[in-house]
Structure formats: structure tokens, C-alpha cells
Amino acid sequence: MSLVLDIEKQLGNFHLKTAVKCGNEVLSLLGASGCGKSMTLKCIAGIEKPDRGRIVVDGNVLFDSEQGINLSVQKRHVGMLFQNYALFPNMTVATNIRMGTRREGGCDEATLRSVMERFGLLEAADLYPHQISGGQQQRTALARILISKPDILLLDEPFSALDSHLRFRMEEEVRSVIRSFGKTVVLVSHNRDEVFRLSDQVAIMQDGKIDRIGKKTEVFRDPQTVNAATLTGCKNISPVKILDAHHFLATDWGLTFCVSAIPEDAGYVGIRMHFICPGEGENTFACSVTEEIENPFSYTVMLKKSDKEHVRSFGWELDKEAWKEFRKKDVIVHIPETSLHFLKK
Amino acid sequence: MDLYPLWNSIRIALISTVIVFFLGILAAYYIAKTPRIIKGILDVILTLPLVLPPTVVGYLLLRIFGPRRFVGAWLFEQFDLKVPMTWWSAIFATTVVIFPLMYRTARGAFESFDETLAYSGRSIGLSNPFIFWRIRMPYCKQGILAGCVLSFARALGEYGATSMIAGYTPGKTATISTTVYQLWRTNDDALALKWVGINLMISFIVLLAINLLEKKEGRFVARS
């Protein structure tokens, strides 16, 4: 159970060049829209044809430009969940699901019923897709895919078509599907929370290329690139001017940091909003509050270094209770060295 | 009153509609997949009969199927077949004239099709013909049905090209439209009026059928 992918495709000015390897796990492709993540999925599914490269699932070569192999979509046994679920509008829920078994010559009523039962679709069996809820539509689509016994599961922005209150429930369902599926799953998303909760490996994409790939905890802890930092939710990013072996200036904010080491290729520094804390110690700065933004369960406080004029503010996120206690016009914040992400140019 | 023109008109229109149903959707389906430039050129060629005077179509057909012309001569030599002035030669005329109607409505319908339905069908193992007939066609049913009815109605009313290639022989090649012309020419006003009435009635029924079908088919259109 694995996926080995190394492909290239030119589309006008856009050049897609991705290479990933993953085993029995969930790989997420995280990126802004138009970064090529959906195109990569389509290449695996066989809907798009790469110009060059190789795609192997479980040792089966689906595509190999050198050997001239390009299996038809039908022969790839790739289950793909589309953003809009792509249910056949002229067929009932039961018939839609049954379509997934045609490759193997259909299935008996009992099998179909048990699958519908598992997905809680028995009541909707005779309804048409436009008569059921978004959640039921997604479950129908998942049931139709799983009954077709795919070797790999591709999820293309699975929750983007759902209302936010439904998202969480559906994510739970997808998580249980993934768990029982037990093979390689590739998830495409632009939502970092979703990605973190669902996946094992994360590949961060930009302009058709993967600029950071690794275990999700690694990637979130040490994003390494500006794009990866942004996509994993790091809101404070500033260019860096290296002063000496232990000191650098974050030019946007006018803050000078003292650290144990600075990587040579550091071009930017990122600081996550909730890693900033009040207090003493090294790297402590006197700041004035320029804005206070209330979130449902926290505050985002925009800070600016007190004694500097032309500097940009940076965000600090903290619990409501904590800010109520601390609330001042001028604050002293501590930015621990461990919370600094050095990012490549 | 000899009802032969009615029967002849209906069979010509029906047969050509069936032919055009297949040719039109086939052309619409495959041309939609071709590169842009080829699509543009083919589109112009296939739509041409819609704007050409039917007499020009008739003339071109005679150039092809005339007894001393290329295809016509070959058919006569091989199969002892003379195309012009037979009842079924009118089928050529109507087919050419109504083809663009079917082609264009089918293409419009196919363009509105959500391709992800085809992709998801293929990924769960459905064959391409199955997807075409059981998913794409039902999805586009409304447009294609409208194209059929429209084509049938137009075929029923075809006059110019038909009169050139099939002529007017009572009881043999006469259709409603050529009969009306002939009756008017011979000052048989009463009978001409009867045929006009019949024609109006058929057209009325056909158009009513389109409207009713559209209402009935509306249920798939409401989608999330």
C-alpha cells in the first residue's frame, strides 16, 4: 500500500513538478488555490495526463512516460471524492452506490444494504441527490467510492462545499472512513486545521512545486519556507537582517533578537501569534498596543515597538481571561527563542 | 382527399430525425473534444446548412447524387439505384437541412454537462459507453429532446431542397409542403387550405409537446 509519484506537466505558463512518496498513511497537499494540488490529484486519477514521469500505486504502474504506460481511469482503481461529490443526478442514492460495483458485475441487495447502513443512508436509499442534505451527499459519494474497492483514496477539498457547522461532523466521518480504509489516502486542502487533524504527512505546494514535505508535526514545528509558514498559520513574518553570529534584526518590526545560532540561509523569521508571552528574559520588548481585535474565544493584540517610528505591527494572540488581567496601553512581551521560525529566502 | 403527402411527410421527417439524432450527438460529442481551431472550422461547416438557402442545398445534393454525377453514377452502376425523384431522396434533403439544429442544441446541452460526473463514473469503473448513455444523455435529455422535436418540425416543413431532389409526383414524392405549392399553382384553393390547416395543427402539437416535455423534465435541473 503505497504511492510513488514523480511527475511534470506544463500548462501554459504553469509548470507542475511534484514528487512524493508515501506509504500506508494520509498525505495532505496543502497550498493556495492554483498551486497545482488538485492537478496532482487529477494526474493520479488519470483525468489529466502528465508530460513526463511515473505514478505507481501499490507496485502497479499507473503511468510511466518512458515505458509508454498510461492506464485508463477505469483500470486505475483510484477512488476520488470530488469537491461537488459528483453524484449522478438521474439515479437514486441506492443506484448511485450500486454503480460502484459494476466493475465487478454488480452486487446483491444484502451487500448494498449493509454499506448503506454503515453510512446511515438507508432512509435516503430511494431519494435523488438533489433531495438529500450535503452531508448525505458526501456519505453517498464515499459509499460509492469505497464499494468500488479502490487501492488509493483521493479527497479533493472534501469539506469546502459544506456549511461550517457540518464540516466538523463530516470530518469525523471522513476520519473514520480513512481509518477503516487502511491504505494510502491523499487529501487536498487549503485548510491547515483540517490537514493537521487528518493527515500524517504534509506536502506544502506553491506554483506547481512542493516546497516542504514531511511529518505533519515537523512541518508545523519547523516550516522552513515563507510559504509553508504562511500556510501552516504563521501570521507574523518579517525579513531578517543578520547582524552577527548571535544577533539579527527583524526589519519589519524593528526588533533585534539574540539567539544561540542563526542559519546561514535565513531570509525571514516567523513568529506564531500565540507563542508570544508577557514577561521577562532574553528577547523582551517594550511595545505599545495599536489595536485590540476580539475573537470568539481570544484576543488578537497588535503590537508595535514603542521607541520606533516606521515599523509594522505584529500580532499576539492570547486567551480572553489572560488579556483582561494584563490589559495595558504599553506592554512588555517576551518572544522565546524556541518560537522563532527561521525561513529560507 | 388523398392523405399520401401527410404520411410521406411524416415518414421522411421521422427517418431524418432519427438519422440526425445519432449524427448530431456524435458530432457534438466528438467535436467538443477537438482543439479550438479545428472546432471552429468544423462548427462553421456543420452549421452552414442552417443559413444556406435550401435551394443551394438541393443543388449541391443534385451535384452529388445526380445520375451522371460522382456518387449518383456509382450508385447506379453498382446497385442500379437512382436517387433523385424517389420518395426517400427527400430524406437526404431534410437530413442536411435539420442537421445543424440537432448538432447545435446537442452541443449546447453537452457543454452544460458537469464533466466531473463522467470522471467520477470512470474512476469507479463505469465504461465510457455506459457513462454516455446512462449519465451524460439523461443529464442532457432536455436539450437533446428539444433538438429532436425542433428537427422533426423543421423536417416536416422542408420545401426547397426537397422539391429539387425529390420533385413533386403525386402519390410518390409529394409531401405536405410540395403539395401546398402545387395546389396553389393549380388554383385549388380549397384543398390547399385544408393542407395548410393540417400543417398548422401538426406544428402546434409539436411545439406544445416541447413545452410539456420541458416542464416534466425540470425536476433534475434543481440541483444543489
Three-class SS of B140-206:
CHHHHHHHHHHHHHHHHHCCHHHHHHCCCCCCCCCCHHHHHHHHHHCCCHHHHHHHHHHHHHHHHHH
Residue A251 burial (CB count, 10 A): 15
* Inter-chain CB proximity A89 and B121 less than 8 Å: no
pLDDT surpasses 90 at A184: yes
- Residue B11 in grid coordinates: 415518414
**A238 in Cβ contact with A248 (< 8 Å):** no
Contact A130 B220 (CB under 8 A): yes
The 3 state secondary structure assigned to A4-41 is EEEEEEEECCEEEEEEEEECCCEEEEEECCCCCHHHHH
Residue ranges per structural domain of chain B:
4-220
Span B158-176, pLDDT tens digits: 999 999 999 898 888 999 9
- The closest of B35, B131, B223, B116 to A38, measured between CA atoms, is B116
Cα–Cα dist B85/B100, whole Å: 25
Q: Is residue B118 a contact partner of residue B79, using CB atoms and an 8 Å limit?
A: no
Distance, in Å, from the CA atom of A62 to the CA atom of A69, rounded to the nearest integer, reads 7
Mean pLDDT, range B176-196, rounded to an integer: 92
* Closest CA relative to residue A198, chosen from A222, A219, A223, A173: A173
Is A107 an interface residue toward B (CB < 8 Å)? no
Q: How do the domains of chain A map onto residue ranges? A: 3-230, 239-344
Report how far residue A132's alpha carbon sits from residue A120's, in angstroms, rounded to the nearest whole number: 12
Query: Between residues 195 and 224 of chain B, which touch chain A (CB distance below 8 Å)?
Result: 220, 222-224
Q: What is the CATH number of domain B4-220?
A: 1.10.3720.10
Q: Is A298 helix (H, G, I), strand (E, B) or coil?
A: strand
Q: Do B123 and A100 touch (CB under 8 A)?
A: no
Q: Where are the alpha helices (DSSP H) in chain A?
A: 37-45, 73-76, 93-99, 109-118, 134-147, 164-181, 192-198, 216-221, 226-231, 320-326
Is pLDDT above 70 for B221? no
- Digit-coded pLDDT (tens) for A50-74: 999 999 999 999 999 999 999 999 9
Reported as a single tens digit per residue, the pLDDT across B4-39 is 999 999 999 999 999 999 999 999 998 888 888 998
Q: How far apart are the first and last CA of chain A?
A: 37
pLDDT score, position B223: 40
User: Cα distance from B136 to chain A (closest Cα, Å)?
Assistant: 9
For A46, A74, A83, B128, the CA distances from A50, given in Å and listed in that order, are: 9, 17, 22, 21
Find cell 508535526 and name the residue: A217
Binning chain B into helix, strand and coil, the percentages to the nearest 5 are 80, 0, 20
Q: Please give the mean pLDDT across all residues of chain A.
A: 91
Q: How many Å lie between the alpha carbon of A338 and the closest alpha carbon of chain B?
A: 46
Cβ-Cβ contacts under 8 Å, B124 against chain A:
79, 99-100, 102-103, 144-145, 148
What pLDDT score does B216 carry? 61
Among partner residues A83, A90, A145, which is closest to B124 by beta-carbon distance?
A145
Contact A99, A88 (CB under 8 A): yes
Q: How far apart are the first and last CA of chain B?
A: 55
Q: If you measure CA to CA, which chain B residue comes closest to A129? A: B223
Q: How many helices (H) and strands (E) does chain A have?
A: 10, 21
Within 8 A of A103 by CB-CB distance, chain B residues are 124-126
Strands A52-57 and A152-156: unpaired
The verdict on a CB contact (< 8 Å) between A84 and B114 is yes
* Chain centroid offset of residue A278 CA: 31
pLDDT in tens, A219-228: 999 999 999 9
Which residues in chain A have their CB less than 8 angstroms from residue B223's CB?
A: 89, 129-130
In this complex, the residue of A46, A89, A148 whose CB is nearest that of residue B124 is A148
Number of H helices, E strands in chain B: 12, 0
For residues A160-168, give the mean pLDDT: 82
**What confidence category does residue A299 fall into, taking pLDDT thresholds of 50, 70 and 90?**
very high
A68-95 per-position pLDDT tens digit: 999 999 999 999 999 899 999 999 999 9
* Residue numbers in B near A100 (CB within 8 A): 124-125
A50 and B CB contact within 8 Å: no
Q: Which amino acid is at B192?
A: A
**DSSP H stretches of helix in A204-289:** 216-221, 226-231
B136 touches chain A (CB under 8 A): no
Cell of A143: 459509499
Tell me which chain B residues have a C-beta less than 8 angstroms from the C-beta of A90. Answer: 134-135, 138-139, 220
Identify the pLDDT of residue B215. 67
Q: CB B123 to CB A76 under 8 A?
A: yes
Any CB–CB contact under 8 A between A186 and chain B? no
Instruction: Name residue A6's amino acid.
Output: D
Chain-chain contact of B124 with A137 (C-beta, under 8 angstroms): no
* A88 closest CB neighbour out of B117, B119, B123: B117
CA dist., res. A191 & res. A180, Å (int): 23
> Is A3-230 a domain of CATH 3.30.360.10?
no
Grid coordinates of A182: 487502511
